[in-house]
Structure 1
């Protein structure tokens, strides 16, 4: 018998034979070559048939574009939604000729070959007239005729290549993208015009102007023609805001209402007007190039700011799109019907098959399974769920069908609230930005006063030079750099912080981070890892194994600690009953087993713990750990010491905050002795570490600190921290925190540990310091230029050439800012002192 052919094996890092990306664990094999996706195999085959296999450019430089995305299967319910009349009405736009346009999420695309395959749709499917793929965002824009082709058919065709087509979520995000698109177009047009004007300016500066003649006049008139749309179209946003602020200042009789765009618009108009007059009369210098470049540069700064605000929104929008758009609702006769999420109400029951994403936030009504919460919390280990356990929208059901009772769906779910949290940022502006805006009113008055002073001086010295020097003054003092300094500095700082896992809700929060003098820290999940582990136990080993077998049927931090410590616990569990806030009881091999708080065990058994077990309980509490008692058939059997390890960088955080002169406090709902022990380990005075604190008491303490004149930052992760986070001047939610803490916070950290807290504070300091430095440079430059113009040392031409210099300086300062811990690799964090082991006569280490 002939031996079967050996299947070749590939290293997951081996490059794709076409695009050069790693092939991953499941490569596509074709003609003895390994490909990262079927699109690459298809393109490679076509090139081979055409005879270009050896000479084709394999596009390896584009490998960094998309990462190592893997093909994914489409969601059947989501595909079904694409053909509903309601979806077509709400999520597609009409085009000429009965066509419609849809903007959809496409998962699984990651290289140039994917772009080629997707954009072949119009040639492969009748009814699709256009397909454009935005590779970095994973979005495809389709123009199609719904009478000739269904979107579900398009999804089926794309699924052949491993691409999953899904609806987008969140209509308001598209509105922001449209504004960004319009600004990008305006910026592009402005730079195109500025580039052409600069080419003509080079000719004039190179001697054509000095030579005079028809060619010099033609160059000036051509520059004039190009500058008109640059000023009218490119400068329109500045003129509109300037006019609006002038109206507000006039109605309020308060010149401080003048926006910073007012002197910018004035400077542009003066520069353009003087150049236009010089062109028409044939006398004087022109500086259309400076005007056009300044407008383009200012628009670029506004675009960078708008785009940075969208970055976090795009990420959360994509997260929201992971939610199924439809669900299987269980009817009265236990059958299921497919419905949209917005048709679900609280109390409905939905069915989630194995392998599907949970569509709603809710509790398990029927079934037992394991769910993967990686998309929500970053936790890669699946957790067991059973009746009564909470599940979140976006989690993946892995092993068995579940029926889930609905508590929240769609944008009311935790993922939806994340998007809402990001949207809250749009209105928050830093006080330093508001100060810069108010400076515009003072600045324009100062410019007018200087212009009057210049006219008065030259009226005496040489009246024929008045117009020349006043124009030079207005041009050189154009506050373009003031308008660019604050938005650009905050945008750059926010973008770099986001790449380091620090998302700041608003520019106001960024500045508030620099004013903090008191830091309040939660204990569990903030100073500690938030992951319980079994440190030691004292008593019966059989009872420990029975407790682990019982706890394997519930989802709880202590249960996770036991199942990790005893992963293969033996024992047949026939009954499980969880008692909220106390413990769990059940039958294990026919024995009644209780696991829970020692006081609850004492109540249930009607007896107190034996002396040797009671001593171990006190030793456990003294060590900063949590005691858990186990009773079998009504008798105390063992005591478990469960600990939440201190984060490795907790000591460094406390030391750094103290070095910066900040007061550090710990407020926790945990046992006071446990909190006191933790504070002693960290060197925090006992008076500044309070345990057994309720959420209301946390908020009241923060309020008292604020009333005493302190600027307070609260760092927490749980529901019990939400009120304090909202009350504080800056609330920081650590990664994996609850929905309530996320909504209440001003800063959200997506990376583990406490180092991101220091990065957030460094981001604020760097941004504000950069803004102040840029403003100082701009004001100093304008002051020197104004003095030179008043003294007659600067001509309008020199002023026009010098005008962009301050803007270039500001841009350089903003782009070269460095945030400690963000722009440079963080130094290794030394391990904190390990938690002290629990003293006991004869403990059994788990």
Structure 2
């Protein structure tokens, strides 16, 4: 939540969120967090992925004090715009700037995309660096004055292309810190600086110069240039940063999807007339009209009319709920049939939609920042390399070997240690793994997801739209004695085809699929909450609840009453069919299990996971579905509200479980963000998809196990890449310090380690 809120503790404390700018790696987030937590009474959590800090602080401090601490550490901080606002009468300016959920526009959504800027820098740098690399490594391409052409091409790459690293390194240096940016900047500038020295003051600038290929550095070292090393490092690291920035760009998409879910405008009743106004101008107590197919503008109470409300996107309940005067309705739900008038009881930040959005914010901000393995050791690795380079320089000078030889060895140390392979280890494996996943219908959002899949031991599945289809289907027809099922479907389907209700749609669809074209219905009438009737083939047909048949004077035989009761006992919905004054059948309608759900549960158990079912649906329906897919009754949690879904995930985590959450609705978004691993069905709501870590594009639950296996395989590849990248440095650094590596060979070895990392990552393409 942006801005400060008072807690209920005796000691007054406040909480706020801060947008943090200028962070370039996970160690930056850790440094900001340490600086904030040094303040008395402050508890801060900084998330590098979302670039936000969640801070609890005493009333003796202010938000400006917190911002000052962050700025003193070398970063920027600002209180973000409120996610949701409260618009009332007279707030026309604010209302005009709010979106459908009462939210202020997300200015970050329209800001320049950092990934696009990085891509431009990467492409230009790669185009310039490629000929430099080819000329240095292939002697046949070293034409007359090739070294000066290399300098012309490499200079903008090192200076302009590598500017983000140089700027970050300078900022870190001012505050006494070192990160991978420090080593990147030092290595590239050292290689570039030595090349300038060799060209202008050494032996490398004369016409017809050729660069020999030697394993051991020559005596003087001034006849070789290392422009290809300086430019290649910049290009490789920019590649990794680009993929990282592209993933971070999507971190706020879950909130935008939530806040754009509601209605854009509303038909308000004022002075007995309907006036359509922007949603931001709706005030508490206003009466507004909701027609069939329209979204409910905000939370309220029905004062006139009856209709069926489709709340599946918010509650997970697949069966539409009948509402009438006195019943509560929720903003962003859909009127499935019937006109109603609603009195607004909550608007803006108080609505259920806004509260779900806030839950997503808190869950995302509360997640500990997942630090890449390379960044975890950078605090030690970078200073050690710098000290080793300086020690190499001093050692060679003390040995009387000459300045040129000493600088050659020191440069070789910096070049061989440049974290090119380290920078490629994560993004290349992630790129190949996610590319293969996309072919299989699995979207992986970032390296932090891979860490989570390895540790997960419990998987919680939403029911509607995840384990089940999420659509109403005719399950079975129970005819009375002597009645023909084809005739029942013909008459019931014809009458129901004139209704907009989802239950009617299921009956009409099943009848049309089985019988083809249905006859026309005449004198159609709809009784809100009870059913429909009309004339088909000259017969008066009634389809609805037993109460409707009773009001028409039609008795329901005991066998059909038993079928109706049995269907409701199983959590399904049943309607009766009658014509010519006699009840003829009961139609059972409900949600059905997806074809692959039972197989998916079995596969998840094979991976060592414990599956659980979590749903807003009723307990009877939940138990019926769980039994069909093989989930134990004790692992079923039914009639759970969105807030309670988050609490259930937290309870499992508090019990020591590492939880994966699978869902598809807006009501699942906060729980997906809270879970250690969130998996969304691609056929579900945008908010759920954006809040999740993994998305199954096709919505097939059998892909759940494949997604976890692919993620674990990708993580293993990343760890292998990092191990060999570090092992290469450990083995090569002593050789470089001893003067046994020409910096050119050091650059080639560095390129070789990068090639190994890439080829190792490409093995993921064979995943099946």
1:16-71, CA deviations, whole angstroms, 9 ceiling, x for partnerless residues? xxxxxxxxxxxxxxxxxxxxxxxxxxxxxxxxxxxxxxxxxxxxxxxxxxxxxxxx
C-alpha displacement at 1:530, in angstroms? 2.0
**Paired residue secondary structure (2:764):** coil
Supply the distance in 1 between the matched residues of 2:474 and 2:744 (Cα, whole angstroms). 77
Asked if structure 2 preserves the Cα contact closer than 8 Å seen for 1:574 and 1:586, the reply is yes
CA distance in 2, matches of 1:245, 1:271: 21
The structure 2 residue matched to 1:480, chosen from 406, 409, 420, is: 420
- Counterpart residue number, 1:274: 194
Matched, 1:630 2:550: no
Cα contact 2:476–2:588 (8 A) shared by 1: yes
Residues 303, 343 of structure 2: 8 Å contact kept: no
Question: 1:716 and 1:749 mapped to 2: Cα distance?
Answer: 10
Per the alignment, residue 286 of structure 1 pairs with 225
SS at match of 1:440: helix
Q: Hey, what's the Cα distance between the residues in 2 that align with 1:332 and 1:747?
A: 51
Could you tell me whether the CA contact under 8 Å between 2:662 and 2:672 is conserved in 1? Answer: yes
Partner of 2:525: 574
Superposed, which structure 2 residues align to 1:50-129 within 5 Å? none
Residue in 2 that maps onto 1:155: none
Checking the alignment, whether the CA contact within 8 Å between 2:126 and 2:235 is kept in structure 1 is yes
Corresponding position of 1:445: 383
Measure, in 2, the Cα distance between the counterparts of 1:413 and 1:693. 18
Matches of 1:699 and 1:614, distance apart in 2 = 39
RMSD: 5.8
Name 1:562's counterpart in structure 2.
507
Distance 1:673 1:325 in 2: 37
In the alignment, what sits opposite 2:211? none
Q: Does 1:537 align with 2:477?
A: yes
Distance 1:738 1:673 in 2: 25
Shift, 1:647, TM fit = 1.2
Are 2:724 and 1:777 aligned? Answer: yes
Give the Cα separation in 2 of the matches to 1:335 and 1:608: 43
Q: Residues 296, 345 of structure 1: CA spacing in aligned structure 2 closer, same or farther, 3 A cutoff?
A: farther
Between the aligned partners of 1:639 and 1:401, the Cα distance in structure 2 is 24
Q: CA deviation at 1:478?
A: 0.9
- Which sits farther off after the overlay, 714-723 or 418-427? 418-427
Q: Is the 8 A contact 1:418 1:743 kept in 2?
A: no
Aligned to 2:101: none
SS state at 1:519 partner: strand
Question: Per-residue displacement from partner, 1:540-575 (whole Å, max 9, x unpaired)?
Answer: 569877765665565444332222234547563334
Check whether the contact 2:457–2:610 (CA below 8 A) recurs between aligned residues: yes
Q: Secondary structure at the match of 2:574?
A: strand
Deviations 1:614-637, CA, capped at 9 Å, x for gaps: 543565478x56251438799976
Structure 1, residues 253-293: CA drift from partner, whole Å, max 9, x if none? xxxx5221111111112211222222222241211122123
Q: Confirm or deny: 8 A CA contact 2:190 2:411 kept in the other structure.
A: yes
Name the CA distance, whole Å, in 1 between partners of 2:257 and 2:646: 34
- The alpha carbon displacement at 1:697 in A equals 5.6
In the superposition, relative to structure 1, how do residues 505 and 426 fare at CA in structure 2: closer, same or farther (>3 Å)?
A: farther
Instruction: Give the corresponding residue for 1:239.
Output: 166
**Alpha-carbon distance between aligned partners in 2 of 1:306 and 1:515, rounded to the nearest angstrom:** 26
Deviation at 1:238, TM superposition (A): 0.7
Structure 1 equivalent of residue 600 of structure 2: 653
Distance 2:330 2:646 in 1: 28
1:175 to 2:126 alignment: no
1:388-407 to structure 2, matched below 5 A, reads: none
Which segments of 5 or more consecutive residues in structure 1 lack a partner in the other structure?
1-85, 91-168, 209-214, 251-256, 370-375, 378-382, 579-583, 822-846
Moved more, 646-655 or 509-518: 509-518
Q: Cα deviations across residues 87-129 of structure 1 (Å, max 9, x unaligned)?
A: xxx9xxxxxxxxxxxxxxxxxxxxxxxxxxxxxxxxxxxxxxx
Question: 1:307 deviation in Å?
Answer: 4.5
SS in 1 for 2:613: strand
Give the secondary structure class of the aligned counterpart of 1:473.
Answer: helix
Aligned 8 A contact 1:625 1:641 in 2? no
What is the CA distance between 1:491 and its match in structure 2?
4.7
SS of alignment partner, residue 628 of structure 1: strand
Change (3 A) 1:405 1:550: farther
**Alpha-carbon distance, 1:657 to partner:** 0.8
1:595 to 541, 544, 547: 544
Q: What is the match of residue 374 of structure 2?
A: 436
> Are the structure 2 counterparts of residues 792 and 219 from structure 1 closer, same or farther at C-alpha, using a change threshold of 3 Å?
same
Structure 1 distance, partners of 2:324, 2:497, is: 13
Instruction: Please list the CA deviations of residues 443-469 of structure 1 after superposition, one character each: whole Å capped at 9, or x if unmatched.
Output: 112213433564576567664343332
Alignment map for 1:747-762 (pairs within 5 Å): 747-762=694-709
Unpaired stretches in structure 2, ≥5 consecutive residues: 1-92, 98-104, 204-221, 308-312, 315-319, 513-517
Normalised by the size of structure 1, how large is the TM-score? Answer: 0.58
| Distance across 1 between alignment mates of 2:369 and 2:464 | 34
Match for 1:702 among 649, 653, 660? 649
Residue 719 of structure 2 aligns to a residue in which SS?
A: helix
CA deviation profile, 1:199-247 (whole Å, cap 9, x unmatched): 6546867677xxxxxx6xx544454444333222111111111222233
> Retained in 2: the 8 A contact 1:502–1:760?
yes
Q: State the 1:694 CA deviation.
A: 5.7
CA contact (8 A) 1:316 1:418 kept: no
Residue correspondence of structure 1 range 400-419 to structure 2 within 5 A: none
Q: How do 1:654-693 residues align onto structure 2 when only pairs under 5 Å count?
A: 654-670=601-617, 672-691=619-638
* Residue of structure 2 equivalent to 1:259: 179
Map 1:122-521; keep pairs closer than 5 Å.
172-177=108-113, 179-198=114-133, 201=136, 218-248=145-175, 250=176, 258-283=178-203, 284=222, 285-307=224-246, 433-451=371-389, 454=392, 458=396, 463-464=401-402, 465-494=405-434, 497=437, 501-504=441-444, 507-521=447-461
Higher relative contact order (CA 8 A, sep 6+): 2
Question: Could you tell me whether the CA contact under 8 Å between 1:625 and 1:674 is conserved in 2?
Answer: yes
Deviations along 1:616-663, one digit per CA (max 9) or x if unpaired, are 3565478x5625143879997643333433211112211211111111
- Give me the TM-score of the superposition, normalised by structure 2: 0.63
SS in 2 for 1:437: helix
Asked whether the equivalents of residues 513 and 760 of structure 1 are also in contact (C-alpha less than 8 Å), the reply is: no
Contact 1:313 1:422 in 2 (8 A): no
- Match of 1:640, SS state, is strand
Q: Distance in 1 between matches of 2:359 and 2:670?
A: 16
Paired residue for 2:749, among 795, 802, 822?
Answer: 802
Cα distance in structure 2, aligned partners of 1:333 and 1:327:
15
Q: Deviations over 1:319-375 (max 9, x none)?
A: 9999999999999796988x87877889697999x9xx9899689999999xxxxxx
Structure 1 residues 693 and 544: alpha-carbon distance in aligned structure 2, compared to 1, 3 A threshold: farther
1:769-828 CA-partner distances (Å, limit 9, x unpaired):
23212212211222222132134321223223333232333344445533845xxxxxxx
State the distance in 2 between where 1:235 and 1:726 align: 35
Whole-angstrom distance in 2 between the partners of 1:613 and 1:359: 36
In 1, distance between residues paired with 2:620 and 2:462?
Answer: 15
Does the 8 A contact of 1:433 with 1:486 survive in 2? Answer: no
Matched, 1:711 2:658: yes
Instruction: Determine if contact 2:253/2:687 at 8 Å carries over to the other structure.
Output: no
